[in-house]
Structure 1
Amino acid sequence: MHVLYEEDGFKVATVKESQPASLMVEDVRGKRSKVKAANVLLRFERPDPATLWNEAEALAAEIDLDFLWEVCGGDEFAFEDIAAEYYGAGPSAPQQAAVLMRIAGAPMYFYKKGRGRYKPAPAENVKAALAAMVRKQREAEQMAAWQAELAAGKLPDAFVPLLPRLLHRPDKNGIEWKALAAAADAAHTSPLRLLDHVGAIPDVAQYFLDGFLLEFFPHGREAQAEGDYPPPADLPLAEVRAFSIDDSTTTEIDDAFSIVPLKNGNTRVGIHIAAPTLGVAPGTPMDQLVFDRLSTVYFPGDKITMLPNALVEQYTLKEGAARPAMSLYLELSPGFDVISHESRIEMVPVAANLRHDEIEPHFNEATAGFETEGADYPWKAELNYLWRFAGELEGRRGKADPNAPVRLDYSFYIDTLDDGSKKVRIVPRKRGSPMDKLVAELAILVNSTWGKDLADAEIAAVYRSQGNGRVRLTTQPGPHLSLGVECYAWSSSPLRRAIDFINQQQLLALLRNEKPRFGRNDAELYAAIGAFDTAYAAYADFQDKMERYWCLRYLEQENINEMTCTVIKENLVRVGGTPLVIRVPGLPELPVGATVKLNRLATDYLELTLDSRLATM
């Protein structure tokens, strides 16, 4: 006696022992096993198991599947009954096995209902399944063609419109990704490297930007919001001539300054901050845009503004007109003591936008403080007065240190050449230069003063506090130890940062004696702080990535094959003339600040890594 049974598929064997509930069987290889009697589908005397299997496979291949499906009707059936219908009464064991194999091998046509029992699929289901099978076959052929193109170093035309997604957020169920992944596996590389190899990433900087935009600005980089947002028409005109100090590329001019001598011998210094909140009411589309974008994003050669250009143009402190502003006025004694301060909402005439590259040749470490000596230059007296005031402020904060080591900041400029290629310029600037100190100290002053005003009025605000080496945003006023102030609330950049925008809204309510937008335990305020923290960190990471990329490009562009580097710690060094920091495996132990020379080897722009080796010390 032989049996065909189902156990992890169909199997045939010869019965050696038989019990009511189980059988001991031996397969064609001589292996014995125990089989449940309930799993047996067919018992037969002849032919032998191996022959039955071979004959059944041959017969199954000849069965017309569509005809078999039609024979089955619409009801549930046992396979042996259909074998009798198909072959006639008394079908042989190979014929029964053939029908079973054919039915079980066609799940589109037959649904399994139990051991040896099936039900024909409805006609519409069969049609849909067959169409799906045809589609899968067509897709398989298409994928094979794409794989062949990729293997030959060619980017398939169908991939071109899908590149942003394939590169940054692929649909791993899509046939394009499956073909790409299969081709990459065959080439023993990653999908990203394969795409780069076939020319899908002609501009690595654009590749990084596209990925960033897809994640953080999926609706487009240009800020847009419906509506018109003019300032109030009845703002008083300030009796000042204000000037700003910014980099030449700055368009969002948040702050400007003014100086007015008073009859009592004192001086009134004005710190004027752009006031977009005068026109942007809470709950408007523009207000929502601020809370969506949260900050301007800066990176070499470009930026993504928090606010639309049209609104920036209305509120930036651009020279040649009176601009809406929130002003902090300080009355100073001849010794720079702050006698009093007052805040106003007004239109401020901006007489000049001073630019670093134009003023620094005249107003610098060698000339600052000598306002009656040397050649004249625009705003000489005002710059020198504010510089001396800034020095007093720094000293009173306990942060003046004439022996502090020189630290550099770097400005990146990306020039487009006639042939369309890009050239990067990296311009170092000493941190703490007279212009930097002037602007920084007045910003610290206005942020700490307005922060204290809000705290004294018990109006909610967002503060930056610092203790134990950690800086954090909080709604509780507290000391910022590294700045040396008792409280510090970002308020000086409302065109560029949502936190400053929020604090300006609160200040506006204070100055107008209105109910502030946010209460002290406002859930919306806490949510905004959390969202800003996350976005601001991500934007800073992107800026760092792009600066690293352009540093690597600069080394190649200038053909710098031997780099002079400074040891930061252990095997971490900074490449001279750039902010680029790299690790040098195997670097000998050297003191911090030591100079080493490295040979530039391979550069990986996708991974932003630079291989180097020690040249001389």
Structure 2
Amino acid sequence: MNLFFEESGDFKAGSVLSQAGEAYQVELASGKRTKVKAKDVLLQFTTPTPQDLLDQSKQQAADIDLEFLWEVAGQEEFGFAELGAEYFGHAPQPIEAASLIYALHGAPFYFYKKGRGRYKAAPETALKAALAGIEKKKQQAIIQEAYVEELKQLRLPEQFQSLGLQLLFKPDKNSIEYKALVEACSALQMNPARLMLASGGLKNAKDFHLSKFLLEHFPKGSGFPQTPLPSLPQDLPVADVRAFSIDDVTTTEIDDAFSITPIDANTVKVGIHIAAPTLGIQRNDALDMIARSRMSTVYMPGDKITMLPDELVEIYTLGEGQTRPAVSLYVTVNTDDWSILGSETKVEAIPMSANLRHNELDAFVTEENLANDAGEYAHKADIALLWKWVQVLEAGRMAKRESFGLKPEQTNRVDFNFYVDDDVVSIVRRKRGAPLDKIVAELMILANSTWGKLLADHGIPGIYRAQGGGSGGWAAKMQVRMVTHAAPHQGLGVDQYAWSTSPLRRYTDLVNQWQIIACVQHGVTAALVAPFKPKDADLFAIVSGFDAAYAAYGDFQTNMERYWCLRWLGQENRHQVDAVVLKDEVLRLLEIPLIIRLPGMPQMARGAQVRLEVIRWDELDLSIEVRLLEMLTTLTEEDLEDAPEDEGEISADLDAPDVNAADASAETIETVIEGAESLPLQESNSVAEVAENVDPESDAVA
């Protein structure tokens, strides 16, 4: 006797060897023996052989008309043998019965399984929906295959035009478009980004990097919603000064300016004026929510995504010939010994005399020309006076820094500015610590330090940058962190440092400016009216959110600068380049700030200069392959300006974007001090900016 039975969801047949009560010992066609319970047996038969039954019933099942079978079944539950008698017109033979079981079991859309050998026909509405779904999948499979064929020919299907970026970065993995892309990539042995680039789904590698960043951080687009704009305050006193700013040519968010007012033969009053958008933005209003959602202006070579709408920036930017609201720090200085006699902060309107630009002045405002009183340019006497003072300020900071146990700052390095015009990039070398940079840097550091103390003295919180004094090893002690109370910044050599000088492009500065204005306007009662009170949980959330956003923006700026460095190689048709050894297998090109790792390179001293052959590079994954051609020379002390002075600087070079030198300023200074911390975002402006990881006191929009 033979049995046809169900086991683990599959149908099998075999010969009975023995029976014990409700169980059979069965030998399958393969020779394997198994124990079968009586309740699992569907058929008992003598002929044909078990294997013939399986083979023939499967073939016959394919010929069964499922639609007719469904009509015959009716709406009541049935056993397969009952339906077999109706369908075949006679009691089904073993092969017919087995074929019917295969057909019923293999058509779950037509028949619902109710038990061993028992089924129920699906309701008509459910069946129609299921069949429609099957037909849809068949059609989708046909369309998907057509997509695959087009992609394999490196042609982008029309339906992909609006989905290209989404397919790369946030795909619906159940869509036929995504499945087609994956299948085509597998066939071509190509990753999705390269296939989209080759087929026209991406315009270029820049589009890939930018789109990836925008989809992650600006999923609704980088534009601004329609928001009512504030009017300029009309009740501010107008300062009796001729203020001027110093920025890169690309800077549009001009938020810092300076003025000099003689008092007597040996005393002057230096004004540091910071744009005051907080006079038109209130905490938690629509404009505040916009700024807080972005946290900072995003910089990249040739472009930027501003923190605030252009229309608002236009109202508060310190443009030439305009009178604009500002928070001003006035410092009275004795010009005999350059000591500070006193300071005060005012909220007022500032008449702007000039917007000076680095590209117009850098060639004239050099240390040599300043020493010889050479050249003619706007605000020459003011710049000369400031240059003498800031050197004293810097020396004071260095002394303070060294008192914390740190080595002197190194400011003899070269920075680079990126300028992009119609996809043609210019990368301009610019020595860090140039006079204009240092003037802006030191005055920004002075303002941020002074206003940080003002907040602390009035007992209201602010957002500070602190470095040193931590516990657990040198690295932990020197890590720069953001805190809401005054604490030393040992790297900069100041007792406290509160970012306050870039409120048009950094949210921390906007917050601090609200607090500073509360101190100016309300004095000892400032703590009662300041927007943020001590231990305000929202302030801690801002610090956390800013850190995350600023780090992401810095990584993006780094990637885009690397992209434009690679573009420069192709643009200039450079097959051989000179580089300087930073450490071990790490090199940096001399002409552009491109970092290269060269595994297996012979050990060379830091500062050694080598010549490389450029073999290939990839603008999509930002990689480059080079070969060492020869060792040229060891750099002179003068040339070593291109090489980091210590491990911390090297780490900064590897992990952060090079400061766009127009802003080799406070931002740069602090970055070098901080070591591996990411360089700040900036446009281009000064050393102060660079001094503190970008105090966008500079506007280095490369």
TM-score with structure 1 length normalisation? 0.96
Q: Deviations over 1:525-551 (max 9, x none)?
A: 111111110110110111110100110
Quote the residue 1:409 is aligned against.
415
Quote the residue 1:361 is aligned against.
363
Greater shift after overlay, 181-190 or 453-462? 181-190
Quote the residue 1:393 is aligned against.
393
SS of match in other structure, 1:601: strand
Q: 1:226 to 1:405 in 2, by over 3 A?
A: closer
Quote the residue 2:48 is aligned against.
47
Counterpart amino acid of 1:471?
Answer: V
Alignment of 1:417-432 (within 5 A): 422-432=423-433
Whole-angstrom CA distance in 1 between matches of 2:398 and 2:58: 93
Counterpart amino acid of 1:261?
Answer: P
Greater shift after overlay, 181-190 or 282-291? 181-190
SS of match in other structure, 1:318: coil
Greater shift after overlay, 13-22 or 121-130? 13-22
Whole-angstrom CA distance in 1 between matches of 2:265 and 2:551: 48
Q: Deviations over 1:205-249 (max 9, x none)?
A: 122111111111112212335112123221111111100000000
Quote the residue 1:603 is aligned against.
617
TM-superposed deviation, 1:89: 4.7
TM-superposed deviation, 1:398: 1.7
Counterpart amino acid of 1:573?
Answer: L
Quote the residue 1:292 is aligned against.
293
Quote the residue 1:133 is aligned against.
134
Whole-angstrom CA distance in 1 between matches of 2:253 and 2:481: 25
Quote the residue 1:419 is aligned against.
none
SS of match in other structure, 2:271: strand
SS of match in other structure, 1:280: coil
Alignment of 1:215-364 (within 5 A): 215-263=216-264, 265-334=266-335, 335-364=337-366
Return 5+ residue gaps in structure 1 as ranges.
417-421
**Equivalent residue in structure 2 for 1:538, among 547, 552, 572:** 552
TM-superposed deviation, 1:289: 0.3
Counterpart amino acid of 2:413?
Answer: R
Quote the residue 1:511 is aligned against.
520
The answer to whether the 8 Å contact 1:225/1:285 transfers is no
SS of match in other structure, 2:499: coil
Quote the residue 2:380 is aligned against.
380
**Equivalent residue in structure 1 for 2:479, among 460, 467, 470:** 470
Whole-angstrom CA distance in 1 between matches of 2:11 and 2:193: 44
Q: Deviations over 1:276-305 (max 9, x none)?
A: 000011121101001101100111000110
Quote the residue 2:510 is aligned against.
501
Alignment of 1:13-162 (within 5 A): 13-162=14-163
TM-superposed deviation, 1:404: 4.0
Greater shift after overlay, 556-565 or 47-56? 47-56
Whole-angstrom CA distance in 2 between matches of 1:265 and 1:411: 38
Whole-angstrom CA distance in 1 between matches of 2:37 and 2:629: 76
Greater shift after overlay, 407-416 or 190-199? 190-199
SS of match in other structure, 1:192: helix
Greater shift after overlay, 348-357 or 555-564? 555-564
The answer to whether the 8 Å contact 1:225/1:289 transfers is no
Greater shift after overlay, 398-407 or 587-596? 398-407
Alignment of 1:134-213 (within 5 A): 134-213=135-214
TM-superposed deviation, 1:91: 2.1
Whole-angstrom CA distance in 1 between matches of 2:56 and 2:181: 42
Q: Deviations over 1:434-493 (max 9, x none)?
A: 011100000000000000100111101010001122111111211000000000000000
Whole-angstrom CA distance in 2 between matches of 1:46 and 1:374: 115
SS of match in other structure, 2:193: helix
Q: Deviations over 1:80-139 (max 9, x none)?
A: 222223223522222221211111000111122222222222211111111111111001
Whole-angstrom CA distance in 2 between matches of 1:67 and 1:561: 74
Return 5+ residue gaps in structure 2 as ranges.
402-406, 469-476, 632-702
Q: 1:250 to 1:190 in 2, by over 3 A?
A: same
SS of match in other structure, 1:59: helix
Whole-angstrom CA distance in 1 between matches of 2:503 and 2:483: 18
The answer to whether the 8 Å contact 1:460/1:475 transfers is yes
Quote the residue 2:500 is aligned against.
491
The answer to whether the 8 Å contact 1:369/1:387 transfers is no
Q: Aligned pair count?
A: 610
SS of match in other structure, 2:168: helix
Whole-angstrom CA distance in 2 between matches of 1:66 and 1:483: 83
TM-score with structure 2 length normalisation? 0.85
Whole-angstrom CA distance in 2 between matches of 1:38 and 1:477: 81
Whole-angstrom CA distance in 2 between matches of 1:573 and 1:254: 36
Greater shift after overlay, 380-389 or 8-17? 8-17
TM-superposed deviation, 1:403: 9.4
Whole-angstrom CA distance in 2 between matches of 1:123 and 1:391: 90
Counterpart amino acid of 2:558?
Answer: D
Quote the residue 1:445 is aligned against.
446
